Each structure stands twice: as C-alpha cells, then as structure tokens.
Amino acid sequence: MTRSLAMRYATGYFDSGAFHADLARRVGFRTEGGAVELRGYLEQEMAPAAERLGAVPRILDNPVCAGKPLLVAHRHEGDDRPTALLYGHADVVPADARGWRAGLDPWSVTVEGTRWYGRGTADNKGQHTVNLAALEQVLKARGGSLGFNLTILIETAEESGSPGLAQFCAEQRAELAADLLIASDGPRVAAGRPTVFLGTRGTADFALSVRLRDRSYQSGSWGGALRNAATVLANAISCLVDGRGEILVPGLRPPPIPPEVRTALRTIPVGNDPDDPAVDEDWGEPGLTPAERVVGWNTLEVLSLTAGEPDAPFGEIPGTAHARCHLRFVVGTDTEALTDAVRMHLDQHGFRMVDVVPGAVLPATRTDPGDRWVRFALTSLERTAGSPPALLPNFGGSLPNDAFAGELGLPTIWIPHSYSACDQHAPDEHLLAPLAREALGLMAGLFWDLGEAEAPHRVAGQE
C-alpha cells in the first residue's frame, strides 16, 4: 500500500481504456437541462460511482429550481479524520449540433489524436470523472480505506447560474460540513502546467437601454433633427469604459491589487497555448500585466449591442438601442452600489435618457493563499509533478464558489483538468487526453496524501 501504487492504478485505469469508456457513457446523457436526463445521469452514473467509493448517495430536490436535483453522498471513516467535500456538475450547455465540425457528434466521444471531442468532455463530465476515478484507485491501493471522510456533491444547474445551490448549502450546512472543498472546473493557465485556483471573479450583469421613440425615421428627412438612439448608447458606453478597455466609473473599479496576489501572478502566463488568441498588450487597465488584468482586476464587458435592423438597414434612424453588459469583479468591489454608480456616472455625463437595468450578481471569492490547506495541496501536487503548480488567487471567470466559501465557510481548492482552448461552451468541445492522464495521477497523489496522518486537520468551520 503505497502512494506510487495509487498513482499507477490511476494511470493504468486511463491506459486500459476504462476512462474513455466511462466518459463516453456519461457524455451520452444529453444533460442540456431536461429533468429526465439530469436525474438519469445522477441515478445511473453518479450514484453508482459514489457507491463504488463506499459512499451512501441521496438525490435531493433543488430548493428553488424544479427539475434540477442534486446528489449528496457520504463516506465516514472517523471523527478524527479530515473531511473533503468534492463538487462537480452534471449539466452541460446546449450542444448546438449543427455547429460542430463534420464527423463530430456532441453526444459521443470522438478521438482525434490527443483530442477527445464531445459535449461535457471538458465541462464538466471529464473533470469530475477524473476525480471520482482517482478516489476509486486510492481506495483500491489502500486496501479499502481512503484515510479521510468524503462528501460528494453533484449539481445539475451550474450552466444556468447554479440557482438554488447557495440556499441548498445553507439548508444542508450540517450535512455538507467539511474541512475543505476540492473541485475541478475551468482551464489550467497552460495545458502542460498543473494549476490551482482559490476562488473566482464575480459577475454582475446589467442592461443599458435607450428608448427615444416607438419607430425609426428616414435619415434623409430627419437626419440632424432627431437623436439617434444607437449613437447615444454608443457614447454612453464610451463614458463607462474607454476605447482601450479602461473602466472610467470610479464605483466599478476595484481596490488596489494586494501584494500577495501580485506576487502569486508574477509567473502566470496568459495565452500560452497554440490555439489561444494573441493577447492585446495595450488593452485594459494601464500598468498591469495580462495576468493582473485577468485575475486581479475588474473588467467591464459589452456582451451585445443592437439597434435598428442589423441584417437589413434601410437608411433609418433607430428609435431604440440596447446593450447587455457585465462587470467581472474581484473581492473588495462594492457591487451593491453598482447600479447607482453607473446611473450617477451617466447622469453626470449627460445621458439621463439611458436606462440602467440591474441583473444577476455572482459574488467574488478568494481563499487566503497562506491557508494551510492551500499549502497542503500545492505541496502534494509539486511532489507528483516534480515542479510547483501555478497558483491563481482566483480564477478570471466565474463559478458558484460563494456557496462553498460563503455559505459553508470552506477553504476552496480548485484543480482544473482542462485548458483554455478546449472550446468549452462552443462547438467542438474537447478534452486533452495527455492532460487527463496526468490529472488522474495528480489527484490520486493528492487524495492519498489527504489520507496520511500528517495531513493538516481542523474542525470543520473553525481555524
């Protein structure tokens, strides 16, 4: 019973074809949002996987979202053992089968070289399959023991913003009590570099609308006499964020980047993989590195902008214009005042005719990089990989981490098993096979170390 044996079992599981078989079967569930498929995935895939780990599964209703159940499973080995909460999600974004390249089917795994194509291969079925399989190999190598307590939580509404997850965690706080969260989602900083991130930027959605009149008017007769709603909206946006991406609204800017975050980001690349787009070095907040702009700062993004008839313009002045925007924000940003800050700034610049409509807010989170569970995870991964993993104080994107960091008060350790060019959420989504194989070994080593006597332990919810 050795650590290296657990890792050999994990990579052997991949080499035998068992990982491919498990992933292909799971990708075959069309978990785009239908209640039958989502429950079927939990009943037919996740519950048996939990039972193979000696965990007792239950499927529970979502407290606010009908047809989006959650699976919780427990394995208890001792009150003196640490408890890990393992999270994943079963749902996927719509497949958009017509957009996939010829020869690819989003509901089956197609292997082309090192790329395994299929909806959910990267987000999130491939990633939670890695973690569940690594646990199973550790259990086998240790003769039927993990050495720690395990709680598994699989949700089915992550791609729609995890409605009900935070409330579920609040209602089930005692059942979900743990020492740390271990989860896998999102990409590594580079395909060949194991990565840990400790939280996420938040997202605050809002819409801007200009409604000047009920119809459009011909520009030859009225051009120069009537305001153009599109022109008004374009200039309103430009007073919020300038032509190089710098945020101009004081209330939307974050506090200064903490020194420990700057230190952690010094060696973090952005856009290093062959399929990544070229980084615009002159875009965003002046004086920051690309990693600081993506991880440590706020960005205001215009997601859509419409006016008139985009596909058939006929020389008419549009009476209305609309934009959907969001702020990606870091810990310390006052999002409760976001709408007021935008409203005041627009008014000060003469755009009282622009309406501001607030939308959903997903909070930002960040575990202290000095937390002992963080140090534990980094040490374990370095022991396996032979070099230090990349450490991101928070992920540049958004995940429902506040349910765990906020409602449950857990240090959150995210270890992604994908890469930035995986086409997550797009046609031709894929998993890199060498990355998945490496991840199985990394996670087997981490779970083995978690079961060792010297693993740091604290009472759940306390330091």
Residue with tokens 């307590």: 149
pLDDT in tens, 254-308: 999 999 899 999 989 888 778 788 999 999 999 999 999 999 999 999 999 999 8
What's the token pair of residue 131?
């973690």
d(CA 106, CA 122): 12
Q: Which of 13-17, 28-32, 106-110, 419-423 has the lowest mean pLDDT?
A: 419-423
d(CA 75, CA 83): 9
State yes or no: pLDDT of 462 exceeds 70. Answer: no
Give kind and range of the element (H or E) at residue 4: helix 3-15
Average pLDDT, rounded, for the chain: 95
- Interior/surface letters 62-79, b for 16+ CB within 10 angstroms, e for the rest: bbebeebbbbbbbbebee
d(CA 290, CA 156): 33
pLDDT in tens, 97-110: 999 999 999 999 99
What's the token pair of residue 144?
């039927």
Band (pLDDT 50/70/90 cuts) for residue 459 is very low
- Strand pairing report for 70-75 and 115-117: unpaired
> What 3-state DSSP class applies to 226?
strand
Going by C-beta distance under 8 Å and a sequence separation of 6 or more, which residues neighbour residue 51?
57, 73
Band (pLDDT 50/70/90 cuts) for residue 454 is low
- Pinpoint the alpha helices (H) of 332-451: 338-348, 372-385, 402, 433-450
d(CA 323, CA 233): 8
pLDDT score at 394: 94
Question: What radius of gyration, in Å, describes the C-alpha atoms of the chain?
Answer: 24
d(CA 137, CA 52): 11
pLDDT in tens, 185-224: 999 999 999 999 999 999 999 999 999 999 999 999 999 9
Residue 456 in contact with residue 463, Cβ under 8 Å? no
DSSP secondary structure, 71-115, as one string:
EEEEE---TTS-EEEEEEE-------GGGSPTT--TTS-EEETTE
Burial of 99 (0-12, 13-18, 19+ CB in 10 A): exposed
Q: Where are the domains of the chain?
A: 3-200+364-450, 202-270+283-362
**Which of 254, 257, 243, 320 shows the shortest CA–CA distance to 289?**
257
Going by C-beta distance under 8 Å and a sequence separation of 6 or more, which residues neighbour residue 375?
none
pLDDT in tens, 36-89: 999 999 999 999 999 999 999 999 999 999 999 999 999 999 999 999 999 999
Band (pLDDT 50/70/90 cuts) for residue 456 is low
State yes or no: pLDDT of 397 exceeds 90. Answer: no
**Which of 1, 2, 68 shows the shortest CA–CA distance to 32?**
68
CATH topology of domain 202-270+283-362: Alpha-Beta Plaits (3.30.70)
Band (pLDDT 50/70/90 cuts) for residue 448 is very high
**3-state DSSP of 144-189:** CCCCCEEEEEEECCHHHCCCCHHHHHHHCCCCCCCCEEEECCCECC
Q: What is the mean pLDDT of residues 121-146?
A: 98
pLDDT in tens, 293-352: 999 999 999 999 999 888 888 899 999 999 999 999 999 999 999 999 999 999 999 999
What's the token pair of residue 70?
């959650």
Domain 3-200+364-450: CATH architecture, name and number where available: 3-Layer(aba) Sandwich (3.40)
State yes or no: pLDDT of 460 exceeds 50. Answer: no
Order across the sheet with 110-112: list the strands: 110-112, 115-117, 430-432
Band (pLDDT 50/70/90 cuts) for residue 1 is confident
What's the token pair of residue 120?
């959910």
pLDDT in tens, 23-37: 999 999 999 999 999
The percentage of the chain sitting over the pLDDT mark of 70, rounded to a whole number, equals 98
- Strand pairing report for 354-362 and 83-89: unpaired
Q: What is the mean pLDDT of residues 352-371?
A: 94
Band (pLDDT 50/70/90 cuts) for residue 398 is confident
d(CA 113, CA 254): 43
Residue 405 in contact with residue 165, Cβ under 8 Å? no
State yes or no: pLDDT of 455 exceeds 90. Answer: no
Give kind and range of the element (H or E) at residue 8: helix 3-15
d(CA 25, CA 454): 38
